[in-house]
Chains A and B, each alone.
Chain A
């Protein structure tokens, strides 16, 4: 498993490399997931990834997503096998229009017991 902080310009996104697998066909894809503790669900993935895994063949009733700024978005919902390192769980996979970056949400973080630990040394740039 690889987990790292990426892109200084984006204030170092916490990223986890994972494998998503269809629970029905076994089809799998490697993905880079950005840890997002503001997202309640399992994973949020682009529609293309959702379709490539065939998650549309066993969808569940849609959900309504509420954003931090109060907007509402319809989410398609299915289930996916998420593999991170040696751990493997089944969690909800969500998608909607316009998703470009895959997110790892609280449902999966809680189930996996993942601990987000930023760099040990934190330097505040105020040295004289």
Chain B
């Protein structure tokens, strides 16, 4: 039997939790030892089950995926501007898959290119880029 492709390594993060129930932590630690698992794997399993029980799980999952790609694309643009600011003085920058695809004369050209260049997220930014989010009045909570 062939070994399955393990895929890219999972990205992990150090998380410290304040005010966690001490007795619960002792129990989890004991189970982790009994089952030869890490505490992190047990907490991950519990959190995944909890999230799957939420009615809006799919929506939140899609949102966080978009968030990650948006942040990667925005970071790539800011880095590119830092390296060669003269190239980003006017027009519309298109950023996909963590890299700047190009700078286009018009918004229409940029979004036309996004159809072929962007897989799951594309960022079109009017230049010159200004940091800080625009404010929009939303009225009452919808």
Q: How many residues of B are counted as interface, with CB atoms below 8 angstroms from the partner's CB atoms?
A: 34
Binds A, one of B5-13, B32-40, B106-114: B106-114
Min CB gap B88→A, angstroms:
14
Number of contact residues on A: which range applies?
A: 35 or more
| Interface 0/1 of B107-142, CB less than 8 Å to A | 110111011001011111110000001111111111
The answer to whether B135 touches A66, judged by C-beta atoms less than 8 angstroms apart, is yes
- A51 near B62 (CB under 8 angstroms)? yes
* Chain B contact surface mostly: mixed
From A48, A59, A101, give the contact of B123 (CB < 8 A).
Answer: A59
Are B135 and A57 in touch, CB under 8 angstroms?
no
Residues on B with beta carbons closer than 8 Å to the beta carbon of A41: 136
Contact with B along A97-111 (1 / 0, CB 8 A): 111110100000000
Using A56-B122, A57-B122 as known contacts, say yes or no to A24 and B114 having CB atoms under 8 A apart.
yes
Query: What are the 9 closest A-B residue pairs judged by CB atoms, nearest first?
Result: A38-B139, A65-B138, A40-B137, A58-B111, A24-B111, A63-B134, A57-B122, A64-B133, A58-B114
Known: A36-B139, A103-B142. 9 other contacts (CB 8 A): A24-B112, A58-B94, A59-B123, A62-B70, A64-B134, A65-B136, A65-B138, A66-B136, A66-B137
